[in-house]
Structure formats: structure tokens, C-alpha cells
């Protein structure tokens, strides 16, 4: 019996490792969580708000599954999602969203079912500052910061790049690509080559 239990534990461990690796699926999933907006203020600094009517940057979903997702979709779908985010007695209720997920623990994205990421793919080069986005599960919020050097030793987290023109792009790439980005001590005046996808409601830069 003990040997059987050890075998089951081993198989479950392998399964969890596979789930936590890079994932890309066409299956529509349901994710529950809190919504937060990360955008630039008038001085170009990143600010976070959970009480917003417009978001000129990136929407993040702090999932109850322990993952942090940047959220992407058509203008109509994003507006519908924002309107469905209601509060009760000063507490914003978790959302229950349907969509497709892509990425890994350091770069999760969720996009609405009707959004085709292959519709508007543009090869580009972007220069700006790379910011880390840390989930704050106690406050159902996120914390964007520019790391002072390499950030690969921190807990798994997301990233985005802000340009001098005030553009904000969520960063996605293979685990190896993101790991290389994290190990770099340079976080400002960084130049990245990649493919730009999604739309102005939440751009994604797939880093080469």
C-alpha cells in the first residue's frame, strides 16, 4: 500500500510540473479573480488602481488560482468586463471570466475567446524600461516596480515595458527568454525585438 501511495504521489508531482510549464491552449477556461489597472501617470510613473473607469495601460487579473494574468480582448469585450466588475460594501467582488490562457508562471496572459492574436501581428523593436509586476494576494492587487538589477531571484512575477512615448506592453516569451531578461541587471533603456499582438486595450510584445 505504501509503495502504491508513493507511485501516486510521483505521478501527481510530474503532472503539476507539466501544468506549471509553458502552456498554450485553444480551450476556453474560466478564471476567477480581482481586476486591477496598471497605467502611466502624467510624469510617466506606473500607478495601480482597482477603482477605475478607464484604463490606458494594462489590465491584470489576480487569479484565485494563484496566477497573475494580463488581460486582453476586443474593445467591446473589455468594456463589458469593466462594467461587470462591481463592488459591495466597499469590497470589489471577484470576476468570473471566460477566456484562453497562454504562457507560464512568469508571463501569463488571458484573452477573451473572440480575440484572434494572429490578426494583427507586427514585428517591431521597442526601447524603454522593464518593470516587474508582483502579485499582492493579501490586497488583491499588484505592485509594479523597476528592479534594481537582476530580478530572477524574486518570486515568479510578470513583466511589462514602458516606452518614452508612454506606450505599455505586456511581455511574453518562452521561460528561457523571460529568464534571460530577468538575469540582466539593465532594466532601463532596454531594447527588445519581438512581435506585437492584441490591440490598444492591452498590447502584448512576444519577445524574440
- C-beta of residue 117 within 8 angstroms of C-beta of residue 202: no
Tell me, yes or no, whether 121 lies in a domain: yes
Q: Indicate the pLDDT class of residue 85, thresholds 50, 70 and 90.
A: low
Tell me, yes or no, whether 135 lies in a domain: yes
Q: Which domain holds residue 142?
A: 23-207
Tell me, yes or no, whether 183 lies in a domain: yes
Is the sign of the CA dihedral 142, 172, 122, 113 positive or negative? negative
> Residue 26: what pLDDT?
58
This prediction's pTM: 0.81
The count of domains in the chain is 1
Q: Which is it for strands 203-207 and 141-145: parallel, antiparallel or unpaired?
A: unpaired
Higher pLDDT, 54 or 23: 54
Tell me, yes or no, whether 17 lies in a domain: no
Which of 16, 153, 133 shows the shortest CA–CA distance to 71?
Answer: 133
Q: Indicate the pLDDT class of residue 7, thresholds 50, 70 and 90.
A: very low
Judged on CB neighbours under 10 Å (0-12, 13-18, 19+), 45 is exposed
Amino acid at each position: 500500500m505504501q509503495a502504491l501511495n508513493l507511485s501516486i504521489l510521483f505521478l501527481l508531482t510530474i503532472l503539476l510540473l507539466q501544468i506549471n510549464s509553458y502552456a498554450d491552449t485553444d480551450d476556453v477556461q474560466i478564471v476567477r479573480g480581482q481586476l486591477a489597472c496598471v497605467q502611466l501617470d502624467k510624469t510617466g510613473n506606473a500607478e495601480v488602481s482597482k477603482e477605475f473607469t478607464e484604463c490606458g495601460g494594462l489590465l491584470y487579473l489576480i487569479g484565485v488560482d494563484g496566477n497573475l494574468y494580463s488581460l486582453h480582448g476586443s474593445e467591446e469585450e473589455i468594456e463589458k468586463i469593466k462594467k461587470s466588475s462591481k463592488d459591495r460594501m466597499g469590497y470589489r467582488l471577484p470576476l468570473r471570466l471566460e477566456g484562453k490562457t497562454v504562457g507560464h508562471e512568469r508571463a501569463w496572459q488571458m484573452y477573451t475567446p473572440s480575440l484572434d492574436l494572429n490578426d494583427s501581428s507586427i514585428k517591431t523593436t521597442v526601447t524603454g524600461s522593464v518593470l516587474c509586476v508582483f502579485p499582492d494576494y493579501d490586497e488583491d492587487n499588484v505592485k509594479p516596480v523597476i528592479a534594481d538589477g537582476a530580478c530572477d531571484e524574486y518570486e515568479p512575477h510578470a513583466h511589462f515595458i514602458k516606452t518614452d512615448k508612454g506606450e505599455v506592453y505586456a511581455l511574453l516569451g518562452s521561460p528561457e527568454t523571460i529568464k534571460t531578461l530577468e538575469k540582466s541587471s539593465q532594466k532601463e533603456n532596454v531594447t527588445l525585438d519581438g512581435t506585437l499582438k492584441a490591440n490598444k486595450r492591452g498590447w502584448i510584445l512576444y519577445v524574440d
